[in-house]
Amino acid sequence: MEGEERARVISSLPFNPKIAYFSMEIFVDSKIPTYSGGLGVLAGDMIRTFADLNIPAVAVTLLSEKGYFYQEITEDGRQIEKPEVFDPKEHLVLIAKDVTVKIAGTDVKVRPWCYFVRGISGYKVPVIFLDTNLEENGKWERKLTSYLYGGNSDYRLGQEIILGIGGMKVLKALGFYSIYRFHMNEGHASFLALELYKRTKNVDFVRKQCVFTTHTPVRAGHDLFDLDKVLHFLEDFPDEIIPNVTTDGKLNMTKLGMFFSHYINGVAKKHRETSMGMFPHYSIDSITNGVHSLTWVSEPFHEIFDKYMPGWRMDPYILRSASGIPNDVIWKAHLRAKEKLIKFVNERFEQNFDMDKFTIGFARRMTAYKRPYLLFYDPERLRKLGEKFGGLQIVYSGKAHPKDVEGKEIITRVIKIGKSLKPEIKFVFIPNYNPDIAKLLVSGVDLWLNTPRIPMEASGTSGMKAAHNGVPQLSTLDGWWKEGYIEGVTGWAIGREDQESDDARDSRDMYDKLEYRILPVFYKYRERWTEIMKNCIALNASFFNTQRMVEQYVLNAYFL
Ligand SMILES: *Cc1c(COP(=O)(O)O)cnc(C)c1O
């Protein structure tokens, strides 16, 4: 308890939020590893934008004291997972408002911590981190807020009860009585609706207040819990809603969230169609994802944006006038960003990457549907491509979920092939992908590669980060790319949208695009290449940002 004495403690928040945003993971700061990937980074970008736009919101998440995991890669390319512990006392403020949640008849004490996300003009949005690691709690209960996405199904169920029900109780304890929209970011947060329902037993009343966003067509992204277990954990689960929220005798957290929401959305236009196929009984809208411009624009581009497009920080729509920036200014800024990446790679990983060589980046969660192996599908063709253009450089990064055996095998395979194509291909796999590495990569490479199997990528956001740094994308026509792509203008497509994804055909198309459409422009027509870079900023960064996205949430979801 001595630690708690050292923590900064407050007993109230001078604040009256109207919107509560619940997410299992949120990336607020690189030193707080309480996120795993796209979902948490998006949640963080959303909250940063709430703060920029002075939107009275509060966010709720789990403490995840031991993070997701720290990834090491062995000599032979295997992923090793270690805890990524952080000390809440160093980064968060303790709020003296404990609440109690019942799980399987046992009282679990939940303690809130707070982090303030500051907007451009200083406006602050609190993010509440829920902690069960308290002496009063039992052994199992104490660990519920240790590992993000760790443990078995019971552990996950316990975590989601803490998030949804514990989170609602904390908001009440804080005296936040004016919240009129509760936003569930994925089904992990759906239990919050039960807590609202318990107060009135009126479904319409709950619906009026709830908004639900679904983020993935991947099945593992939609939690299912044995109904018996749920009824055991939550003794007051309302029987009358069971037929509406179950699939084959299991509680479906996505259905639970959707059932209690008046507004549901997917995260890109194409993802809306996919989601309507998965949940045919619901009306689903779409709000295409974005990224927080100020967070993802690298330093060299900050400088030129400030000079040529003042005001872009408050209003990223201004980025549309990037077409007016002189080509050599853009190119020089890119070289500065590239130099930073090349230095990092050469110093940390004892490589000899070259500033003049075309460099391809691929970084995201390593999992089968994203096909990280596609670039290496035909190693000989790739090697020849390197030979023809005087060498190619490839940078990879990404974690596989500890239980995703296939994803881990893909890492090993990619590293093995990647290293075997010297000297025509230089390859590096940067361990422990995180937002700092992401920023280095999306700004420092010449081309961003994305190869998901259609329609599994709901949106994807790393390509938007690249666009903010003038880096064009080569991608299958899935997620946001269907909306952001103009062939040869903002980037290039792999395959066609109306064909089923096929590794052999898609990889051939990818190599052809590289050989005949991309590399020749990069090396022989630098002016045209720079025009493409400017198009990425003017056409895509000006639209695929969280400012536009949050405005759509406010107009379509919150004020509806
Ligand atoms: C942006 C980001 C992601 C999401 O990338 P996708 O291309 O959408 O898969 C994942 N992890 C980190 C660390 C990121 O910064």
CA distances from 302 to 52, 114, 336, 436 (A): 17, 30, 12, 16
The closest-lying atom of ligand 1 relative to the alpha carbon of residue 479 is 8
Cα–Cα distance between 107 and 407 in angstroms, integer? 38
Kindly state the greatest CA–CA separation across the chain.
70
Judge if the beta carbon of residue 479 lies within 6 A of ligand 1.
Answer: no
Tell how far the Cα of 255 is from the centroid of ligand 1, in angstroms: 26
pLDDT by residue (tens digit) across 41-81? 999 999 999 999 999 999 999 999 999 999 999 999 999 99
- Ligand 1 pocket test, candidate residues 462, 474, 481, 549, most atoms within 8 A of CB: 462
Supply the residue whose CA is at minimum distance from atom 1 of ligand 1. 462
- Ligand 1 pocket test, candidate residues 364, 457, 464, most atoms within 8 A of CB: 364
Evaluate whether 477 touches 485 at the Cβ level (below 8 Å): yes
- State in Å, rounded, how far the first CA of the chain is from the last one: 46
Of all residues in the chain, the percent with pLDDT exceeding 70 is 99
Judge if the beta carbon of residue 460 lies within 6 A of ligand 1.
Answer: yes
Tell how far the Cα of 283 is from the centroid of ligand 1, in angstroms: 28
Judge if the beta carbon of residue 38 lies within 6 A of ligand 1.
Answer: yes
Q: Residue 13: what pLDDT?
A: 81
The closest-lying atom of ligand 1 relative to the alpha carbon of residue 439 is 15
pLDDT by residue (tens digit) across 317-365? 999 999 999 999 999 999 999 999 999 999 999 999 999 999 999 999 9
The closest-lying atom of ligand 1 relative to the alpha carbon of residue 462 is 7
**Half-sphere exposure for 95 (CA within 13 Å, toward CB):** 24
Tell how far the Cα of 106 is from the centroid of ligand 1, in angstroms: 38
Q: What is the 3-state secondary structure (H, E, C) of 444-470?
A: HCCEEEECCCCCCCCCCCHHHHHHHCC
pLDDT by residue (tens digit) across 109-150? 999 999 999 999 999 999 999 999 999 999 999 999 999 999
Q: What is the band of 82 on the pLDDT scale with cuts at 50, 70, 90? A: very high
Judge if the beta carbon of residue 266 lies within 6 A of ligand 1.
Answer: no
Entry pTM: 0.97
- Ligand 1 pocket test, candidate residues 25, 46, 442, 461, most atoms within 8 A of CB: 461
Q: What is the DSSP string of 20-73?
A: EEEES-----TT-----SHHHHHHHHHHHHHHHTT--EEEEEE--TT-S-EEEE
Q: What is the band of 11 on the pLDDT scale with cuts at 50, 70, 90? A: confident
Tell how far the Cα of 390 is from the centroid of ligand 1, in angstroms: 30
Judge if the beta carbon of residue 364 lies within 6 A of ligand 1.
Answer: yes
Judge if the beta carbon of residue 37 lies within 6 A of ligand 1.
Answer: yes
The closest-lying atom of ligand 1 relative to the alpha carbon of residue 460 is 8
Full set of structural domains in the chain with CATH: 3-290+549-558 (3.40.50.2000), 293-544 (3.40.50.2000)
Q: Residue 559: what pLDDT?
A: 87
Judge if the beta carbon of residue 44 lies within 6 A of ligand 1.
Answer: no
